[in-house]
Amino acid sequence: MQPSAIRNPSDKVMQEFFQDTSPYAIEAIPLVVPRPEHGISRANISENALKVLYRLKQENFQAHLVGGGVRDLLLGHEPKDFDVATDATPEQVRQVFRNCRLIGRRFRLAHVHFGREIIEVATFRGTTTSDGDENDRQMENGRILRDNTYGTIAEDALRRDFTVNALYYNIADFSLIDYADGLEDIKAGRLRLIGDPEQRYREDPVRMLRAVRFACKLGFTIDPKSEEPLFRLGHLLADIAPARLFDELIKLFHSGYGLGVFEKLRQYGLFGQLFPATEACLAREDHGFPITFVSRGLANTDKRLHEDKSVTPAFLFGVLLWEPVRQRFEEYLAGGEAASEAMFLAASEICSRQQSLVAIPKRFSLPMREIWSLQPRLEQRDGKRPQRLVTHPRFRAAYDFLVLRADAGEADPELAAWWTRFQEASAPERASMLEGGGAKRRRRRPRRRKSGESAGAGAEATGPVDGG
Ligand code: ATP
Ligand code: MG
């Protein structure tokens, strides 16, 4: 790959750029790689993204593919989506495309719809700070609250997060434009923030989560200067809107690399910022079943995603929050509550604390709570209960959850095995299983009052426990 122009901005220049004092970056000379010298082919770009790019060009706007699409194509991965950057304003984009909707207040964007595919079209972001106009960039304590100041492609490039996300594929001549040494970092497998890392994390703390996600997804190492603040700045996540954190967590844990993400988030102390109650349990019992349970749950989710099977946030958050719920449940049981009431109280308590950090929409939190509330009910195998339970809409998820608990050494493996057999059994076989008195083999007695026993202790004796 022969560079047509070389540019090497020093860290100092970058820092000045981000303090909006230096005109340098606006005049920065990018590395431009002509079509024959890079591997991006139109054959690998979605037809709809190409339509958007060509149409904008036809209207005399600049149009580039940017972000994850370019990055993933260079790495030989299939891009998840295609993002377009242009000098057309969102309103101008809307005038060009009938199938277009403008979204976002914090960061105004145009979405061009083609059936199920959405091409995201962003206007180049600029660097001027707010003059009070509500459409401008607004800052608070170093954090960007709103960023709707438009600028040039050079400014846009340096406002992006990682160098590997700031590469542009120019539809005008099919060249690749690199303002931030992104190509070098792609080759080195390195994730590096553009500009001063701490300042960039403070501007938008979600970039810390994005660092973890891209490191896991791409198998890249995080450059030491970009990595170091991750250990210190996790507390900034408390300022992020809970709804945005929910969306980001789904991207993190439903990426197919959830287990790696979990381990990295814990390594940087970020997991505890997002799930303090869970982290407290994990920190106490680093080698016990809670960590095995979460790890296996995430590994299962990754496996399902790699097999193109469906996954749901209800199960994911059910797994991530189970240990604090279970501990509170045990405490309520010990205090004399009946199992169903104990579970209701424990779930309400943990959910309301969690909700202030990460907003789990009701359509996921309700089935999540059902999965939990079915756990003690799966222990009741007397009478007609099992027959009724298998018809419950959440039975399958609750059963999978029980199997996971048993595999992690927390629940009784015999109970999980009984339910496996029961589901597979014919009607007469089921009848004999029920007569066989499954209920008598119940380990826990959920309705017994004033129980001082912990289910965990017993389970550890019978089930496999992660020895680290
Ligand atoms: P993927 O789509 O594979 O998850 P992506 O890099 O395309 O990864 P998007 O969230 O689709 O990520 O964002 C598109 C591009 O917008 C990014 O590549 C990056 O250049 C820019 N971007 C997104 N979020 C931020 C952010 N918080 N700060 C700075 N730039 C961002
Ligand atoms: Mg993208």
Residue of 253, 194, 186 lying closest to 225 (CA atoms): 194
Q: Is the pLDDT of residue 453 over 60?
A: no
Range in 103-107, 176-180, 293-297 the model is least confident about: 103-107
User: Is residue 15, in this structure, part of any structural domain at all?
Assistant: yes
User: Is residue 230, in this structure, part of any structural domain at all?
Assistant: no
User: Is residue 459, in this structure, part of any structural domain at all?
Assistant: no
Count CA atoms within 13 Å of residue 370 on its CB side: 14
Cβ proximity of 102 and 90 under 8 Å: yes
Residue entry with tokens 């089935």: 367
- Pick the ligand that lies closest to the CA of residue 165: 1
Specify which residues 178 forms β-bridges with.
31, 167
Q: What spacing in Å lies between the alpha carbon of 168 and ligand 2's midpoint?
A: 13
Q: Is the pLDDT of residue 165 over 90?
A: yes
Across 356-370, b (16+ Cβ under 10 Å) vs e yields ebbbbeeebbebbbb
pLDDT band at 147 (very low <50, low <70, confident <90, very high): confident
Beta strand extents in 89-159 (DSSP E only)? 100-103, 109-114, 117-123, 138-140, 143-146
Q: Are residues 261 and 200 located together in one domain of the fold?
A: no
Alpha-carbon gap, residue 406 to 93, rounded angstroms: 54
Alpha-carbon gap, residue 255 to 384, rounded angstroms: 41
Q: What spacing in Å lies between the alpha carbon of 390 and ligand 2's midpoint?
A: 41
Which residues are marked as active site?
Answer: 81, 83, 161
What mean pLDDT do residues 181-206 have? 97
Q: Are residues 294 and 369 located together in one domain of the fold?
A: yes
Tally of domains within the chain = 2
Cβ proximity of 113 and 49 under 8 Å: no
Q: Are strands 83-86 and 117-123 parallel, antiparallel or unpaired?
A: parallel
**Ligand 1 pocket, mutate which of 148, 153, 161 (most atoms under 8 A from CB):** 161
Q: What digits encode the pLDDT tens for the residues 349-397? A: 999 999 999 999 999 999 999 999 999 999 988 888 888 899 999 999 9
Ligand 1 within 6 A of CB of 204: yes
User: Is residue 272, in this structure, part of any structural domain at all?
Assistant: yes
Residue of 5, 360, 423, 295 lying closest to 179 (CA atoms): 5
Alpha-carbon gap, residue 254 to 305, rounded angstroms: 8
Specify which residues 451 forms β-bridges with.
none
Range in 108-112, 264-268, 460-464 the model is least confident about: 460-464
Q: Are residues 192 and 260 located together in one domain of the fold?
A: no
Ligand 1 within 6 A of CB of 205: no
Specify which residues 122 forms β-bridges with.
85
User: Is residue 367, in this structure, part of any structural domain at all?
Assistant: yes
Backbone angles phi, psi at 451, to 5 degrees: -85, 130
User: Is residue 29, in this structure, part of any structural domain at all?
Assistant: yes
Alpha-carbon gap, residue 193 to 223, rounded angstroms: 8
Domain containing 354: what range? Answer: 248-435
Q: What spacing in Å lies between the alpha carbon of 23 and ligand 2's midpoint?
A: 29
Ligand 1 within 6 A of CB of 68: yes
Alpha-carbon gap, residue 232 to 198, rounded angstroms: 10
Contacts of 350 (CB under 8 A, 6+ apart): 277, 321, 324, 325, 328
State the closest ligand 1 atom to the C-alpha of 207, by its place in the atom list counted from 1.
Answer: 27
- Pick the ligand that lies closest to the CA of residue 217: 1
Alpha-carbon dihedral sign for residues 277, 278, 283, 287: positive
Q: Are residues 377 and 256 located together in one domain of the fold?
A: yes
pLDDT computed for residue 157 by the predictor: 95
Q: What spacing in Å lies between the alpha carbon of 68 and ligand 1's midpoint?
A: 7
Q: Are residues 188 and 299 located together in one domain of the fold?
A: no
Residue owning the nearest CA to atom 18 of ligand 1: 67
